Chain A
Amino acid sequence: MAEKNYYTVDPLGKLMCMKCRVPLEKGKAKFLYLDNGFPVELPVCPRCGFVYVPEELALGKVQAVERALEDK
């Protein structure tokens, strides 16, 4: 069974790792906060492993989850 992903961002070939000079790919990542983990799919550099968190995601979903956990 496929593992649940809380969120998926596809780089659609528009993002490039500056260090490795290769396009980012959709890859497996995980957000961690106050001892809670959330599997997600984000743009990741296939070579160095850089995980990119786009602004919309950071200020949207990520912030909402942070707020909710902070009051747990």
Chain B
Amino acid sequence: MFLEERESTHVYKQQVMFSKEELERRESLCVHEEPAYCNAACPLKLDTKAMVKAVAAGDWAKALQLYEKITPFPHILSAGCEAPCEGKCKLCQLGEGVAIRELERAVVRFGEKIRRGLPRMKKKKTVAIFGSGLFCTFLAGELNKKAYPVTVFCREDSAEEFLSRETAFVPAEGMAASAAVLKGMDIQFRFGSDPADMESLRRDFDIVCCQWGLAEVSDGDNALMYSREKKLVTGQTTGVLDAAFGAKKAALTVDRLAQNLDPSNTRGEEGSVSTRLYTDLSEVPPSRRLIGGEPCTKEQAEAEAARCIQCTCDACVKACAYLQHYRKFPRTLTREIYNNVNIIMGDHMMNKPINACSLCGQCSVVCPNGYDVAEICHIARQTLVTTGKMPLAPHEFALMDMLFSNGEAFLCRPQPGFEKCRYVFFPGCQATAIAPDTVAAAYADLCARLDGGVALMLGCCGAICDWAGRYEMYDEARAFLDAQLEKLGDPIVIAGCPTCKKELSGHGGLKLTGIWDILNEIGLPETARGMEVPAALHDACGARGDEPTQQAIRNLAEAMGCALVDTPYDRDQSPCCGYGGLTQYTNREVAKAMTRKCLERSDLPYISYCMACRDRFAREGRESRHILELVYGTNAGSPPDISQKRYNRLSLKAELLREIWNEETQEVDIGFKIEYTPEVLRLMNDRMILKSDIIGVLQELRKTGEAVLDAETGLCVARARLGNVTFWVKYEEIEDGYRVCGAYSHRMSVIRRQG
């Protein structure tokens, strides 16, 4: 039985994963790029988070640079800013928020100024400002920055005097520094003039601004800081921050007027914003402010800034080894996958990431907004299958394994003495491969203690082709299983594996339970014995969202006397062991990282209730037991290799047929002997070469006599094309057969060519 290779690289079909709108809807779920709470609160759009980070790192020049971005007069603003950011600091929820205002003052005190670039060309349109006070001061600074030729008409007689109105709160050094800043600006002052003469003086200027109250304005507009009636840029402000913000809005209005546009034209987002950011505080200890009152030292400020937790959402990346491996947030990942799947020609370089996700859905649970990367990767896989661009190579072994489970190794029988059964036990393909004795014991127990007959079905639930995105194969597998169940009289399926249970729950109308539920109901068998030492319970990713199953397992474990220790990311939040989604086959590195991530939660032995988890944990060297091994006093021991897994399934089937149904299975005699060096067995497992592949090659050799002798090694090499793969076997002849010393394979076929 072989699978069809993917389509030619020269066939181009198009199919999109979903609409652009759907893409945007999904992307918008992620709040990772939302502004931090402090940033969002600042109407001047200070990148507070970055500034605080710079202070914590002792980079005062950078901190000042960030602060100067929002104001031409940092001394004045920092001295009087009401700092709405402080109340929004996330740390307020735990204790005291970061003392942002004190930090800003420290930044202005200690920050070394970075030299500015060359002065820019002045703009053509001229601007006049009448009056003084905070609004006029900030506005003059903003317009200077925008390179307008600015003339200020004020009653005062000097720059110092001009600045002194409404700034009593600024300390003397701050005033002196601000005066120096003002004098360094390219602004024309008409000191000692009477702003009340505005009407006669204004005709020489293109745009006119004034202090609030200088002219009688009946259509004041604080959003634009503009009176259309009087053609005056002005507005009422209260406090320093509001004046600074008003000046910013006014400067933007000047821009619009200078371009002969309506002032309300294309202004973009102004002022403070709301943020949807989510930040997990569960691991943050409460803390108190380290500064306040007295002006602080550099060191004190740096220590206070170090309290900042740099609010961001990274709940998914923190939890998931796959996202960590690719160093991508779901939003970026989604966009890249979407664009790459939709291309018709060229490299599908996102295939690897698409196929490396374990489809476990942990992201959708740890994310505050339920971002579901699994679903995106799953749809991507199905789309690639549709367009013929899904490589077969990474999934072929697993898919063939499934065909084997539902073919040669498949078994479906009613309990002897029953034609139709009330139940059918469905242990799952991994249990039969990894722990056949446990399966046999469980089935015997169920038969002995349940009424109405318990049938047995050894096979695969179809998860493999579902994960591979092969939806047509999945439909076939489903129809196959349903037909078998019908023959048994549509019994209640007793799943032995939470993933099987989940997959089978997709078959409409099927009655379904877990062996754990049955055992809780009928009680434990005599063989049941908990572990001697405390253990960590690893929830199967297949049981995500299935609280009753998670609880049933705990009840069983506790009834056996297991001392279970709580771990982070348990129950619904549990990560995948690396088997799910076929990650184990498509990307061993990521799968290994997933296993390690599971194991880093505890140093204790692990109890799991999915055989794949049990297998992968044991492979990493951890003491690892499946709950059913504890229930039935069995121990599957060290993990089997890929050929052993197949052998286990076949021999379990043969053994059960013989012992329960009195049927003998004919052992096929290949007619010759094969020995394997230990080295080659390791190699074969690593290269996914089965003993049955080796047999295939040697049978071909016996038929054709085709082989090559390598004088250098003294070994012969034979080959056979089996399905989509050419296997090569290095061997030496022994009595009645062969000793296999090497094996390798490739997918390309090779032919002779003429000329």
Q: What residues of chain A have their CB less than 8 Å away from a CB belonging to chain B?
A: 14-19, 24, 27-36, 38-39, 42-45, 48-53, 55, 58-59, 62-63, 65-72
Contact B393 A18 (CB under 8 A): no
A-B contact pairs, 16 of them (CB 8 A): A14-B711, A16-B708, A17-B708, A19-B704, A27-B752, A33-B747, A34-B9, A36-B9, A45-B708, A48-B706, A55-B730, A63-B746, A70-B6, A71-B347, A72-B346, A72-B347
Contact A29 B748 (CB under 8 A): no
Q: How far is the CA of A42 from the CA of B708 in the complex (A)?
A: 13
Contact B349 A18 (CB under 8 A): no
Question: Given A18-B706, A36-B9, A63-B746, are A30 and B728 also a contact pair (CB < 8 Å)?
Answer: no
B218: Cβ under 8 A from any A Cβ: no
Q: Which of B693-737 contact A (CB under 8 A)?
A: 704-712, 716-717, 719, 726, 728, 730
Q: How far is the CA of A45 from the CA of B707 in the complex (A)?
A: 10
Q: How far is the CA of A55 from the CA of B708 in the complex (A)?
A: 13
- Cβ contact of A51, chosen from B6, B349, B704, B752, cutoff 8 A: B752
Instruction: With both chains docked as a complex, state the minimum distance between the C-beta of B341 and any C-beta of chain A, in angstroms.
Output: 12
- Cβ contact of B746, chosen from A19, A24, A66, cutoff 8 A: A66
Q: How many pairs of residues, A versus B, come closer than 8 Å at their CB atoms?
A: 113
Q: How far is the CA of A28 from the CA of B709 in the complex (A)?
A: 20
Question: Given A15-B711, A55-B728, are A32 and B5 also a contact pair (CB < 8 Å)?
Answer: no
B20: Cβ under 8 A from any A Cβ: no
- Cβ contact of A34, chosen from B8, B707, B719, cutoff 8 A: B8
Instruction: With both chains docked as a complex, state the minimum distance between the C-beta of A1 and any C-beta of chain B, in angstroms.
Output: 13
B489: Cβ under 8 A from any A Cβ: no
Question: Given A14-B712, A35-B8, A48-B706, are A55 and B744 also a contact pair (CB < 8 Å)?
Answer: yes
On chain B, the residues within 8 Å of A72 by CB distance are 9, 346-348, 389
Q: How far is the CA of A53 from the CA of B754 in the complex (A)?
A: 18
- Cβ contact of B753, chosen from A18, A28, A53, A59, cutoff 8 A: A28
Question: Given A17-B708, A19-B707, are A30 and B9 also a contact pair (CB < 8 Å)?
Answer: no
Contact A71 B708 (CB under 8 A): no
On chain A, the residues within 8 Å of B6 by CB distance are 34, 70
Q: How far is the CA of A24 from the CA of B709 in the complex (A)?
A: 10
Instruction: With both chains docked as a complex, state the minimum distance between the C-beta of A65 and any C-beta of chain B, in angstroms.
Output: 7
B10: Cβ under 8 A from any A Cβ: yes
Interface flags, B386-397, vs A, CB<8A=1, else 0 = 000101110000
Q: How far is the CA of A31 from the CA of B6 in the complex (A)?
A: 17
Give the residue among B10, B347, B706, B749 with the most A Cβ atoms within 10 A: B706
Interface flags, B1-43, vs A, CB<8A=1, else 0 = 0000111111000000000000000000000000000000000
Instruction: With both chains docked as a complex, state the minimum distance between the C-beta of B751 and any C-beta of chain A, in angstroms.
Output: 5
Instruction: With both chains docked as a complex, state the minimum distance between the C-beta of B752 and any C-beta of chain A, in angstroms.
Output: 5
Minimum CB distance partner of B345 in chain A? A72
